[in-house]
Amino acid sequence: MARSLCGALGALAALALAAPGAAGQAPLRLSFAEAVRRAAAAAPRVELAGLRTAEADARVREARAALLPAVSLGGLWLNRTFNSQSLGISFPGFPVLVGPFNNYDARASAAQTLFDWSSVARVRAARTEASGSRAEEGVSAEVAAQAAATAYLRAVRAQALVAAREADSALAAELVELAEAQRAAGVSAAIDVTRARAQLVTAEGLLLVARSEADRARIEVARALGLEVETPLELADTLSPALGAAAVAAARDSALATGLAQRPELGAERARAAAARQAGSAIRAERLPRLVALGDYGLNGRTVPAAIATRQIALQVSVPLLDGFRREARLAEQDAAVREAEVRERDLQQQIAADVDTALLELRAAQARQAIAAEQLRLAEEELAEARERFRAGVAGNIEVITAQANLIRARDTDIDARFAAALARVALARAAGVARTLH
């Protein structure tokens, strides 16, 4: 009877929690390391960061255009009249109204900047900004890797809870059968059977909740990877002691040195500061002379057959003297931006040290909790085994068994939570050191 009740509830739970749209689809088998790699390479936030990098590269080409030749072609047809007296022509016999007459002109024009240090500095600033955008892309990859790792850990934790609740349900069903056998033998009261059945119903209810949480956790994994939420996933890893390892040492000095060298946020902040300095240099260079070569060549005439070739070649030098002190105000703005970036860089270095120290503290605490939780689980299993033997021997009621079963449930949950916390701490340490993309 107990097994049939357990099977019916389990079938109902599977039917109720089946993912819509997943029927007929082969599940995507996904390891922890593969989930991290997928997120770091193709998560939506990483894709957006790549597009921002492409925009920054385009701005470099845009800034470089000021130093490259500019060529244009033009054509003109003009039919006009004009007042000769308005031009100061008032000779006797000269008509006041001249025209109408046609003018045809076809021309190629070119301009080449020969010297403009301000444009050179702007190109350098744009390149530095593009480097900063690539560093920001690295930040997005790190954040996406951490998010995917955390979502995966939550999913495998949920799977572990499902397995624990299934074990609890199987144990509760076995205890119902034992209580019924003891009552049939006349060595146990009917209340023992009622208690055992109540425990079975409670265990099956908790199993339903655990399966629902597992399905929700898989949806979070799919979202972290940019997959369709109805994609069926099969998680290849479990909450093993090695899950969440990365290419970072657990020693404080080594982890901090890795963080200061690898954290892309620091590189992005330094690039912003360098770009601000170069933008200031470009503004200062606006005080220097600018030299441009100009030229055009074309055909001009009152009729097309009568058009003749004409040309113009020029060198233009411009020296800015005063612009209402607008340049000085822009310089002050850039200097403030440089100082702001320097402050953010110092603060980020301190934040990296704090992140590393916090992650190491959490890792040590989680490892200690994991050892304690493993011992608690072992003792809870022994307690349950001894309580079952006492109940089977008829020297105690099943209240001891139920109490031991509740202790085992708590011990299992504590062990799962301790392993989950240790894996999360390893992920946090990898993120603090800027190597979340190497998680495996």
Residue 234: CATH number of its domain: 1.20.1600.10
Kindly give the interhelix angle for 399-432 and 117-184, rounded to the nearest 10 degrees.
170
Q: Is residue 21 part of a domain?
A: no
Q: Is residue 18 part of a domain?
A: no
Q: Is residue 22 part of a domain?
A: no
- pLDDT, tens digit, for every residue of 398-416? 788 888 888 888 999 999 9
Q: Is residue 340 part of a domain?
A: yes
Alpha helices in 185-251 (DSSP H): 190-225
Name the token pair of 403.
Answer: 């109490």
SS3 per residue for 340-409:
HHHHHHHHHHHHHHHHHHHHHHHHHHHHHHHHHHHHHHHHHHHHHHHHHHHHHHCCCCCHHHHHHHHHHH
- pLDDT, tens digit, for every residue of 314-349? 999 999 888 888 889 989 998 999 999 999 999 999
pLDDT at residue 357 in the model: 95
pLDDT at residue 21 in the model: 44
Confirm if 136 and 52 have CB atoms less than 8 A apart.
yes
The total domain count for the chain is: 1
pLDDT at residue 46 in the model: 92
**What are the residue ranges in the chain where pLDDT is below 70?**
1-24, 397
CA proximity to 440, closest of 240, 203, 157, 201: 240
CA atoms within 13 A on the CB side of 167: 15
What pTM did the predictor assign?
A: 0.82
Q: Is residue 122 part of a domain?
A: yes
Q: Is residue 20 part of a domain?
A: no
pLDDT at residue 177 in the model: 86
CA atoms within 13 A on the CB side of 415: 23
Q: Is residue 19 part of a domain?
A: no
pLDDT at residue 24 in the model: 59
SS3 per residue for 293-310:
EEEEEEEEECCCCCCEEE
Name the token pair of 235.
Answer: 């998680």
164 phi-psi bin (left φ>0, alpha ψ -120 to 50, beta other) = alpha
Structural domain boundaries enclosing 398: 2-13+28-83+93-438
Helix (H, G, I), strand (E, B) or coil at 98: strand
| 169 CB neighbour count, 10 Å cutoff | 24
Q: Is residue 343 part of a domain?
A: yes
Strand ranges across the sheet with 97-115:
70-83, 97-115, 290-301, 308-318
For the chain, the straight-line distance linking the first and the last C-alpha, in angstroms and rounded, comes to 45
